[in-house]
Amino acid sequence: GENVEQHPSTLSVQEGDSAVIKCTYSDSASNYFPWYKQELGKGSQLIIDIRSNVGEKKDQRIAVTLNKTAKHFSLHITETQPEDSAVYFCAAGATDSWGKLQFGAGTQVVVTP
């Protein structure tokens, strides 16, 4: 089955700096890679996703890159703000499926003013 590894487990950044979280996956059949943000005491919410037919996707201060050959994908947050503090999860799945996702272990991001 799919195995997703996520690094780092914790990330502390100064407000205004960039944050990068990296994930690797093992199953070549995976072609859908979402990122979820979990704020304290809440369920996770999708913030951005990418499919294997593109290498990069941006949405304002958030971007995701995908390297299919190396089987890794990354989340980039620029100009970080205190409200970016949360746990971020990467995941991998297949679009020809019933929607199961394999999640990474999560990255606790702390943005200090």
Partner 1 sequence: NAGVTQTPKFQVLKTGQSMTLQCAQDMNHNSMYWYRQDPGMGLRLIYYSASEGTTDKGEVPNGYNVSRLNKREFSLRLESAAPSQTSVYFCASSEPPLISGAGYEQYFGPGTRLTVT
**Residues contributing to the site for partner 1 (CB under 8 A):** 1, 6, 9, 32, 34, 36, 41-46, 49, 89, 93-106
CB contact at 8 A, 73 and 66: yes
Q: Report d(CA 35, CA 6) in Å as an integer.
A: 11
Cβ-based nearer residue to partner 1, 80 or 107:
107
Least Å distance between CB 113 and partner 1?
26
Cβ-based nearer residue to partner 1, 5 or 15:
5
Least Å distance between CB 102 and partner 1?
8
Tell me how crowded residue 44 is: count the other CB atoms within 10 A of its CB.
18
Record the tokens describing residue 67, joined without a space.
Answer: 């390297």
Cβ-based nearer residue to partner 1, 28 or 46:
46
Size of the chain in residues: 113
